[in-house]
Amino acid sequence: MTIGFSSRAVRSTCVLCVAGLLTLMPAAAAARAGRPDPGPPGGARPAAQPSLLYRSGTQVRLRPGAPGVPDVSALSWVVADADSGDVLAAHDAHRRLPPASTLKTLFALTVLPVLPGGIRHEVRGDELNGIGPGSSLVGIVEGHTYRVSDLWNGVFLNSGNDAVHVLASLTGGWDATAARMQAEARALGARDTHVRSPDGYDAPGQVSSAYDLAVFGRAGLRNPDFARYCAKVDAMFPGRNGDAYGIRNTNRLLTGEDGVEPYPGLIGIKNGYTSNAGNTLVAAARRDGRTLVVTVMNPQEGGGHAVYEEARSLLDWGFEASGRVLPVGSLASGGARPRSGPEALPAAVAAARPSRHDPGWRETGAIVGVAGLGAGAVALVLRLRLVRIRSS
């Protein structure tokens, strides 16, 4: 099965963003960790105080009768409502730390919209160059042809750095992808993140924060492809000579592997580990119509599975505290997100396009927008959506 693209020039208009005034209020003593904040008379919900998230230590505003936050050992963590963006509690939310493979959430947000899953690509040897020693791999073979959807399974389930390298090559190369990821982070209001290696492999100067990773996780849940991939437990991956082998998600809170109990209602998102970053995790769960997103970075106690157990305790607390805490900040404080994307349809994608008359796929829409990618830079954004109308 091959896929063709038809393009239409659509002129977009520029939208002027009007910046609002943010009034910073001194935090009351009751806003400190563990002390109930009864709120104003009449039970009115006060505005969140974003400045609290830049303070060191645990930040939470408990109403009377609210459960106390659990004692966890992670260097940094965040519990937030994925729908409203309210941060319910946090510890050193903006502390800049190595993210490991949780940075793949930002990679997916940046690259997924411009690479339809049905594209087939034959892997070249140079696309597998530069993979860091000890990287997690899904087993991509030079000269083998893969669907883009297979590569995304490799990214989300196996955390395959080889899959990231191939996908990055399809969208302009390693450095260009890192630059687009940086622009995407800024567009989302995530200002703690500095991208050096798109796969999350340790690199000098590469950092993120529990706050930024929660922003990426929340944004990912709003992308149907991202949400579908991050929730997969297992998949088949193409092997040599037409054979396929099973791969399984390494997020043990989702799968229940290695003695970790799966979390009820978990819907993804991404775990990570390097020797420098320690264990990191962005997790989201849904219960009684409410979705929470939690970030846990580098637990200091409890071994390799502590990241899952600490995320579990924070999720439990977040659901139990529903309606009984006041927000200490917001994941939406970065403001409206402009469109972003590559400067043009990558040559590798254009080269992969076959006849537009292939009856197996139908193009259902193309949106062309404008987004800034740096000082004075303007990029053309192609959003392509294809619907499969017959099986191959």
Phi, psi of 333 (to 5 degrees): -70, -15
Is the pLDDT at 29 greater than 60? The verdict is no
Task: Please check whether residue 49 is in contact with residue 90, taking contact to mean a CB–CB distance below 8 angstroms.
Answer: no
Q: What is the mean pLDDT of residues 212-220?
A: 98
Look up 6 and say whether it is catalytic.
Answer: no
Spacing of C-alpha 265 from chain mean position? 19
Per-residue pLDDT, averaged over 34-45, amounts to 42
Lowest-confidence region among 163-172, 215-224, 327-336: 327-336
Res. 343 pLDDT band, cuts 50 70 90: very low
Lowest mean pLDDT among 3-12, 116-125, 254-263, 293-302: 3-12
The residue among 87, 276, 184 whose CA lies nearest residue 193 is: 184
Average pLDDT on 46-53 reads 63
Q: Which of 292, 305, 377, 306 is nearest to 341 (CA)?
A: 377
Tens digits of per-residue pLDDT, 270-305?
Answer: 999 999 999 999 999 999 999 999 999 999 999 999
d(CA 311, CA 290): 17
- Residue 57 pLDDT exceeds 80: yes
CA torsion sign, 97 to 100 to 102 to 108? Answer: positive
209 belongs to the catalytic site: no
- Say which residues have a Cβ less than 8 Å from residue 234's Cβ, sequence separation at least 6: 157, 246, 247, 248, 249, 255
Percent of the chain with pLDDT strictly greater than 90: 70
For residue 346, name the pLDDT band (cuts at 50, 70, 90). very low
Provide the pLDDT confidence category of residue 155 given band limits of 50, 70 and 90: very high
What is the residue whose two structure tokens read 């092997």? 239
C-alpha dihedral sign at 95, 17, 294, 325 = positive
Please give the Cα distance from 205 to 148 (Å, whole number).
30
Catalytic choice (76, 104, 169, 197) = 104
Condensed to tens digits (0 to 9), the pLDDT of residues 85-144 reads 999 999 999 999 999 999 999 999 999 999 989 999 999 999 999 999 999 999 999 999
pTM, rounded to two decimals: 0.76
Whether residue 344 is predicted with pLDDT greater than 80 in this model: the reply is: no
Catalytic residue among 76, 101, 208, 209: 101
Split at pLDDT 50, 70, 90, the class of 242 is: confident
Question: Packing angle between helix 174-187 and helix 161-170, nearest 10 degrees?
Answer: 90
Q: What is the CA radius of gyration of the chain?
A: 21
Averaged confidence pLDDT in the chain:
79
Mean predicted confidence (pLDDT) in 302-327: 96
Cα angle value 44/210/83 (rounded, 5°): 45
Residue 280: predicted pLDDT: 98
- Out of 76, 136, 159, 330, the active site residue is 159
Mean pLDDT, range 382-387, rounded to an integer: 32
* H or E element in which residue 366 lies: strand 361-372
3-state helix, strand, coil in the chain (%, to 5): 30, 25, 45
Task: Tell me if residue 232 is catalytic.
Answer: no
pLDDT digits (tens, 9 = 90+) for 174-193: 999 999 999 999 999 999 99
Residues 376-381 have a mean pLDDT of 32
Yes or no: say if 95 and 210 are a contact pair by the CB < 8 Å rule: yes
Q: In this predicted structure, which of 32-41, 98-107, 141-150, 356-365 has the lowest mean pLDDT?
A: 356-365
Residue with tokens 């302009």: 172
Reference 384, options 148, 164, 218, 127; nearest CA is 148
Mean pLDDT of 213-236: 98
Query: Which token pair is 40?
Result: 């104003």
Grade residue 76 by pLDDT with cuts at 50, 70 and 90. very high
Element (H, E) at 252: helix 252-255
Poorest-confidence range of 72-81, 233-242, 332-341? 332-341
348 pLDDT more than 80: no
Q: What is the DSSP code (8-state) at residue 328?
A: S
Please compute the mean of the pLDDT values over residues 13-33 and round it to a whole number. Answer: 32
